[in-house]
Amino acid sequence: MKKGKVINSDISRVIAQMGHFDKLSIGDAGMPVPRMTEKIDLAVDNGIPSFMDVLNNVLEELEVQRIYLAEEIKTENPTMLEAIKKRLPETPITFIPHSEMKQELNNVHAFIRTGEMTPYANILLESGVVF
């Protein structure tokens, strides 16, 4: 459910259309996106915008009840994992294999591509409700 601050019209539209349990994904520049999944491409350059900048912006408007991360982030990108945990300290995390995360992109409202160039910087955000 929309909360209030995203100015990118495509991201704002997608968030506004989401309901309880719907999913939105944010990811690094290298994540393969299924052809039928809407891709909102924000990538400009290496690291621009960063994964965390985009995640922080989306969280201004999207109520999130659960996040999904690749199991591989634990060993391959622990710095990013800690940043995500710090930003969403009370949100339950489900770890899934990266291969499963790629398949789940068939079931998201959209994938937001960032300029992030670190491994496994991908997340599935499960929408909650504000009431």
Distance CA 5, CA 7 (A): 6
Query: Residues 127, 24: contact at Cβ < 8 Å?
Result: yes
109 is catalytic: no
Q: Which of 20, 74, 85, 87 is catalytic?
A: 20
**Whether the bond into 49 is cis, omega within 30 of 0:** yes
Query: Residues 124, 19: contact at Cβ < 8 Å?
Result: no
Query: Would you please indicate which residues are annotated as catalytic (active-site) residues?
Result: 20
